[in-house]
Amino acid sequence: MKHTLAVLVENKYGVLTRVAGLFSRRGFNIDSLAVGITEDPTISRMTIVVRGDEHVLEQVTKQLNKLIEVIRVTDLGADESVERELALIKVNTDASNRAEIIQIVDIFRARIIDVASKSVTIEVTGDANKIKAIQTLLRPFGIKEMARTGKVALTRGSKSS
């Protein structure tokens, strides 16, 4: 089972290394990691997706809370949060298949953000299933490059994480 953790940390150098090192030392694998500054420039938010049972989640949370730079750790349940990923996908194209690619982009409410003579770059946001689905449909055209962010998430409503 995958768990999404929102980890608020002090925005200082080396914090990411300490958090990643903690996972490495304890043998926990990070499925996804996204880090960015919050509305407060002294605080960063890490969205970490970790796979494991409730025992693993408890151990990860306890170990994270031991780090001095960690302010708060919140387990974001799927029903209680909104989450998105961003992917940039560069696809081979020519005059014969360009219309079909544009149609796929429209269906997924994605955007073409760069056009070249032999490729287009597509921006798509959504959950992991949406990104996987568009990737599957674009694969036959030839994906030249792809970059994905990790999952970012916030709690629903006025509650903060």
Identify the band that residue 140 occupies on the pLDDT scale cut at 50, 70 and 90.
very high
Of the candidates 129, 146, 138, the one whose C-alpha atom is nearest the C-alpha of residue 88 is: 146
Query: At residue 137, does pLDDT exceed 90?
Result: yes
CB atoms within 10 A of CB 158: 5
pLDDT of residue 79: 81
Rounded CA-CA distance 143/35 in Å is 26
pLDDT in tens, 119-133: 999 999 999 899 999
pLDDT of residue 159: 75
Query: At residue 160, does pLDDT exceed 80?
Result: no
Strand ranges, E, within the chain: 2-10, 30-37, 43-51, 70-76, 81-92, 111-115, 119-126, 143-148, 152-155
Query: At residue 161, does pLDDT exceed 90?
Result: no
Radius of gyration of the chain (CA): 19
CB atoms within 10 A of CB 110: 20
Rounded CA-CA distance 154/131 in Å is 19
Q: Which domains does the chain have, with CATH numbers?
A: 2-76 (3.30.70.260), 84-155 (3.30.70.1150)
CB atoms within 10 A of CB 99: 9
Rounded CA-CA distance 4/66 in Å is 19
Query: At residue 37, does pLDDT exceed 90?
Result: yes
pLDDT of residue 1: 86
